[in-house]
Amino acid sequence: MWDAFVAVFARDVLQAWRRRADWLTTIFFFVIVVSLFPLGVGPEPALLKTMAPGIVWVAALLAAMLSLPRVFGTDFADGTLEQLVLTPQPLPFLVLAKVLAHWLLTGIPLAVIAPVLGLQFGLEGEPVVVLFVALLLGTPCLSLIGAVGAALTLGVRGGGVLIALLVLPLYIPVLIFGAGAVEATVAGTGAAGHLSLLAAGLLIAIVLIPWAVAAALRIALE
Amino acid sequence: MALNWFKYSSPQTFYPLAGRLIPVFAVLAAVLGAVGLYIGFFVAPTDFQQGEAYRIIFIHVPAAWMSMFIYLVMAGWAAFGLILNTRLSSMMATALAPTGALMTFLALWTGSLWGKPMWGTWWAWDARMTSELILLFLYIGFMALQASIDDPRRADKAGAILALVGAVNVPIIYFSVKWWNTLHQGSSISFGRSPSMASTMLLGMLVMALAYWMYCIAAALMRVRSIILERERNAQWVRDLKGAPA
Amino acid sequence: MNWGSLDAFLGMGGYAVYVWGSYVASAVAIAAEVILLRRRHRTLQAQIGRSSRNPESLT
């Protein structure tokens, strides 16, 4: 079972490596969206500092969402997904491997870049660290929830926009606790509560969501 | 009736049953609505704090209740359809969504009109209003997903999964929005109703809530009949309906 | 009885815009839903009636 898990994971990472440009686009999208905000609201440092956690998180949400169609899209187009569903291995487990690959390719880069963007917005010291940790805990939730949307919209008319409609409302708790963690640190009340709620949400999502994704994939391939 | 329950779980037998039930629920909705409005406007006294503006609650609170309740019922029917593979359950879920979205919209609209005179702003990012707005997004997502899938069976099942994920998420969303709200707003906006809410006010609200219930059932049944016809239009029993009364 | 006159009733103690704005919007929305539902059902019945008389022209 682990062999299959590792094989699916390695395959996705390898494919992404061959198509680096696709994944880099997502990262640059993230950076560009964040950079647009100071141009839109003005360069006042105090304002930017209060808005920074929210801006970075909203941009992370959008970037994670944009990359979702690729999670199952190529495999669906070339028939690999059908093989995957037919293997005797438990499908939720294989889904988890694909989600993990997606997180490695989008979530981690976003979390790594975010502190730099945070510095641009005048966040320093502890809030930057919390931003990084919160993104590390939150982005796997985004990948998991997003996988449901990606599986449901496979081969559906207007898939890309539809994913946004399905997934963004479900992202809201992650946004609230993620941005809240950074804001709480800035305000000096400590981020422990927010971060533990994010972690709890992640655990629940890891247990439940692969089943939903597996069911959605079976429906899409019927 | 309980014994015959399964007889009505096929679209063919449910279609005429729904046709007979719709007038019952519609009449109940009209009568209860008339009584509720009478109580609301002519029996319930003026609120000493909110003046006449509080009379919006007679339609605001029922709409808000229905908006949340319909989502749960919809998710329930969808789950039923997914697990037991009964076509009618999935059709019920699909039929409920637009009415639920309408109720959500009305709750937001009337809430906004109530908020303006009471706390001086059309919109406040209060936990309840924000959750209600997100609920509207969830309804729209459900309808958009079903509308973009051509195969009705796949649309049913995909919608069911989305509705279930949404239903699990609704309490989490509500909790998170509440948490977010308490952190960001030490402000004075209080939604607490005056403690001395006259019993006639409560009565009017409950009667109106019942009227909304009946209306939503009637509307969902009307829509489910159309859905049945659309999906079964090539079945023999539908063709035989031709002369039957609407 | 709360209202001395029709004007008082329509005035809603100065909150007419808000109260009637809510009630009228709700009434319009509900009426629109009912009308649309009835029209949808009629159209379907007409289509099915036509195609069952003339099975070749199935839509």
Q: Is the pLDDT of residue A208 over 60?
A: yes
In a domain, C26, yes or no: yes
Q: pLDDT value at position A221?
A: 87
In a domain, C12, yes or no: no
**Binary contact (A162, B183; C-beta < 8 A):** no
**Binary contact (A180, B169; C-beta < 8 A):** no
Two tokens at C20? 């009637």
Q: Residues of A with CB below 8 A from B165's CB?
A: 145, 148, 170, 209, 212
In a domain, B245, yes or no: no
Yes or no: say if B36 and B211 are a contact pair by the CB < 8 Å rule: yes
Q: pLDDT value at position B4?
A: 56
In a domain, B242, yes or no: no
Where in the sequence is the domain holding C39, given as residue range(s)?
Answer: 18-57
Task: Write A13-19 long-range contacts (CB < 8 A, 24+).
Answer: A13/A101, A13/A104, A13/A105, A15/A74, A16/A101, A16/A105
Q: pLDDT value at position A70?
A: 87
Short-list A133, A154, A173, A137, CA closest to A220: A154
Yes or no: say if B208 and B59 are a contact pair by the CB < 8 Å rule: yes
User: B116: nearest CA in chain C?
Assistant: C18
Short-list B123, B129, B141, CA closest to B177: B129
Which residue out of A91, A152, A171, A218 would a mutagenesis test of the B interface target, given it has the greatest number of B Cβ atoms within 10 Å? A152
CA distance B228 to C41: 10
pLDDT along chain B (246 residues), means of 10: 60 88 95 93 81 87 92 93 89 95 95 85 82 93 93 91 91 83 53 61 91 96 93 82 55
In a domain, C9, yes or no: no
Q: Is the pLDDT of residue C1 over 80?
A: no
Evaluated on CA atoms A170, A171, A175, A181, the torsion sign reads positive
Q: pLDDT value at position B38?
A: 92
Note whether ipTM > 0.95 here. no
Model pLDDT for residues C3-22, shown as the tens digit of each residue: 778 888 888 888 888 899 99
Yes or no: say if A202 and B172 are a contact pair by the CB < 8 Å rule: no
In a domain, C29, yes or no: yes
Q: Chains with 3 or more CB pairs closer than 8 angstroms to A?
A: B
Q: Is the pLDDT of residue C52 over 70?
A: no
Two tokens at B136? 């509207």
Where in the sequence is the domain holding B229, given as residue range(s)?
Answer: 16-185+197-234
Q: Residues of B with CB below 8 A from C14's CB?
A: 51-52
CA distance B48 to B166: 40
Which residue out of B37, B41, B56, B239 would a mutagenesis test of the C interface target, given it has the greatest number of C Cβ atoms within 10 Å? B56
Q: pLDDT value at position B246?
A: 46
Model pLDDT for residues A6-42, shown as the tens digit of each residue: 888 999 889 888 888 888 899 999 999 999 999 998 8
User: A172: nearest CA in chain B?
Assistant: B173
At B86, which helix (H) or strand (E)?
Answer: none
Computed over every residue of chain A, the mean pLDDT equals 90
| High-pLDDT (> 90) share of chain A, % | 57
CA angle A68, A70, A71 (to 5 degrees): 70
Mean pLDDT of A145-170: 90
Tally the domains of chain C: 1
Q: pLDDT value at position B24?
A: 95
**Binary contact (A166, B172; C-beta < 8 A):** no
Q: pLDDT value at position C49?
A: 80
Which residue out of B52, B119, B234 would a mutagenesis test of the C interface target, given it has the greatest number of C Cβ atoms within 10 Å? B52
Residues 6+ apart with CB under 8 A from A36: none
Mean pLDDT of A100-114: 93
Tell me the CB-side half-sphere exposure of residue B155, using CA atoms within 13 A: 20
In a domain, C10, yes or no: no
Q: What single string gives the DSSP state of each residue in C4-35?
A: SSHHHHHHGGGTHHHHHHHHHHHHHHHHHHHH
**Binary contact (B52, C22; C-beta < 8 A):** no
